[in-house]
Amino acid sequence: MNNLTKVLERIDSLVWGPPLLILLVGTGIYLTVRLGLLQVFKLPLAIKYLFAKDDDSEGEGDVSSFAALCTALSATIGTGNIVGVATAIKTGGPGALFWMWIAAFFGMATKYAEGLLAVKYRVTDKNGQMSGGPMYYIEKGLGIRWLAKFFAFSGVCVALFGIGTFPQINAITESLNNSFDIPIILSSIVITILVFLVTLGGIKTISKVSEMIVPFMAIFYVVGCLIILGNNISVLPESIILVIKQAFTPTAALGGFAGATVRMAIQSGVARGVFSNESGLGSAPIAAAAAKTKSCVRQGLISMTGTFFDTIVICTMTGLVLITTGAWQSNYQGAAMTGFAFKKGLPIESIGILIVTIGLLFFAFTTIIGWNYYGERCTEYLFGVKGVKVYRYIFIIIVAFGASLKLDLIWILADIVNALMAFPNLIGLIGLSGVVFKETRLYFDGLKNR
């Protein structure tokens, strides 16, 4: 088993090494340049589309554009926003937060292209539901069916054995056990029942739950962060300067922090940024394809805001809390480091524990139901609608027993399969970039002529 773990660790470090990170960011840079900094100049319009009432109901689709975004965010805003940011800063120092911003900035262009292509190439399945995502735009746009199947297979594996189940279930059960002494078996039973009830209703139920939970949990967590930053306002300017300065200079060892090179800052910041917002991995466009809309460009713009809210807003809040409170120099790691920062930053320690615990609880639960939907659509692509029921039962069984399984090997496998989702998706984005540019030009030319 140890030999197998070592082999998988080598494969993991290879697939998530500089080549994939360069390809992910490089795709974002290419799209950013060709789209004329669309994520800067069209962000106000994208946010307007997100909240404005329009004639979406006249378009094809299963749920509103806002509900589709909430479904995507439910899977995206997860433990990575609490644990991932802490891990990045612990490994690469405060400068890692700067490189998370860079990854997110270019990732917004990538997410725009994913959302656009998802709607353009979506289809209606035999149950009358919308299906879309990389597997469809790779097959219908590029004509490479085996690559589309490879993406869908990887998506099912990640949903069942990776991001969608084990890490989230463990985060919830351990967090509730540590904070409130709730037995792990009891919380596992409750989670299983809730997941079963939500996922049984398909995209419409998942999107309704996401619409209720995602905005609440994001605002709840951000308000907690803002209170801490308000209490530490005097050190906030120098903390931001520290982030920028140490993005380009080595970070000296301080307190429990071991020191970091610039390369460590870049690699940990970009990797964790991509893990958090999932730009380029191909997951979010599966949810975007379900949106009721007539315009693929409009949905692309709305999808783009997901990366903005996830990383530029929520991850930044977590990072600045860790830095302003000095928690990044402590001996704590992951969720424990974020918990320590909240306890230290808020006047009443118990409130800090409550915010982090509730944040983890909601973030992890919505990630489970969001990834259930992604795996469901990938299963439907591979095996047809009859395979979806079988997939749902397997998913529920894994959720039920997930808290009792050891995660070391599964984490590594999940990382590898996650990377295997990214490669075919990026090939699709680059190969169909001409379609993205053409559709974008036609849409904005049409707006000018109105």
Residues 6+ apart with CB under 8 A from 9: 412
- Mean pLDDT, the chain, as a whole number? 86
Please state, in angstroms and as integers, the Cα–Cα distance from residue 428 to each residue in 34, 61, 87, 121, 337, following that order.
Answer: 16, 23, 31, 12, 38
The answer to whether 371 touches 72, Cβ cutoff 8 Å, is no
Residues 6+ apart with CB under 8 A from 61: 68, 130, 290, 291, 292, 293
The answer to whether 68 touches 299, Cβ cutoff 8 Å, is yes
Mean pLDDT confidence for 102-106: 93
C-alpha angle 99-105-235 in degrees, rounded to nearest 5: 55
Q: How far apart are CA 90 and CA 307, in angstroms?
A: 23
The answer to whether 76 touches 310, Cβ cutoff 8 Å, is yes
Q: How far apart are CA 342 and CA 384, in angstroms?
A: 47
What pLDDT was estimated at residue 59? Answer: 63
What pLDDT was estimated at residue 441? Answer: 96
Mean pLDDT confidence for 227-238: 93
Q: Is the pLDDT of residue 166 over 90?
A: no
Lowest mean pLDDT among 118-132, 159-173, 226-240, 279-293: 159-173
Tens of pLDDT along 3-16? Answer: 777 887 788 777 77
Q: Is the pLDDT of residue 74 over 80?
A: no
Mean pLDDT confidence for 169-196: 86
What pLDDT was estimated at residue 52? Answer: 74
Tens of pLDDT along 248-299? Answer: 987 766 666 666 678 778 777 887 777 778 888 898 999 899 888 889 999 9
What pLDDT was estimated at residue 61? Answer: 66
Please state, in angstroms and as integers, the Cα–Cα distance from residue 141 to each residue in 40, 169, 253, 292, 418, following that order.
Answer: 28, 37, 50, 21, 23
Q: Of 271, 302, 308, give the one whose Cα is nearest residue 287.
A: 302
Number of neighbouring beta carbons within 10 Å of residue 220: 13
Q: Is the pLDDT of residue 34 over 60?
A: yes
Residue 244 binned pLDDT confidence (cut-offs 50, 70, 90): very high
Residue 429 binned pLDDT confidence (cut-offs 50, 70, 90): very high
What pLDDT was estimated at residue 209? Answer: 86
What pLDDT was estimated at residue 18? Answer: 79
Q: How far apart are CA 337 and CA 180, in angstroms?
A: 18
CATH superfamily assigned to domain 2-448 = Amino acid/polyamine transporter I (1.20.1740.10)
Residue 1 binned pLDDT confidence (cut-offs 50, 70, 90): low
Residue 127 binned pLDDT confidence (cut-offs 50, 70, 90): confident
Of all residues in the chain, the percent with pLDDT exceeding 90 is 40
Residues 6+ apart with CB under 8 A from 431: 141, 142
Q: Is the pLDDT of residue 82 over 70?
A: yes
Residues 6+ apart with CB under 8 A from 304: 38, 39, 42, 43, 46, 108, 109, 111, 112, 115
Residue 343 tokens read as 């306890």
What pLDDT was estimated at residue 256? Answer: 66
- Where helices occur in 126-261 by DSSP H, the ranges are 134-136, 145-161, 166-180, 184-200, 202-231, 236-245
Token pair 């090179």: residue: 261
Q: How far apart are CA 121 and CA 115, in angstroms?
A: 10
Number of neighbouring beta carbons within 10 Å of residue 262: 17
Q: How far apart are CA 443 and CA 12, in angstroms?
A: 41
What pLDDT was estimated at residue 171? Answer: 78
Mean pLDDT confidence for 214-229: 90
Residues 6+ apart with CB under 8 A from 315: 81, 84, 85, 97, 100, 104, 273, 276, 277
What pLDDT was estimated at residue 54? Answer: 56
Q: Is the pLDDT of residue 426 over 90?
A: yes
DSSP assignment of 167-183 equals HHHHHHHHHHHHHH---
Residue 379 binned pLDDT confidence (cut-offs 50, 70, 90): very high
What pLDDT was estimated at residue 450? Answer: 67
Write down the domain spans for the chain.
2-448
Task: Give the residue, 21 or 33, on which the prediction is more confident.
Answer: 33
Residue 57 binned pLDDT confidence (cut-offs 50, 70, 90): very low
What pLDDT was estimated at residue 297? Answer: 95
What pLDDT was estimated at residue 258? Answer: 66
Q: Of 360, 4, 377, give the one whose Cα is nearest residue 187.
A: 360
Task: Give the residue, 189 or 254, on which the prediction is more confident.
Answer: 189
Phi, psi of 292 (to 5 degrees): -80, 100
Tens of pLDDT along 318-377? Answer: 999 999 999 888 888 877 888 889 988 887 777 888 888 888 888 888 889 989 999 999
For residue 252, give the DSSP letter.
Answer: P
Residue 432 binned pLDDT confidence (cut-offs 50, 70, 90): very high
What pLDDT was estimated at residue 56? Answer: 47
Q: Is the pLDDT of residue 181 over 70?
A: yes
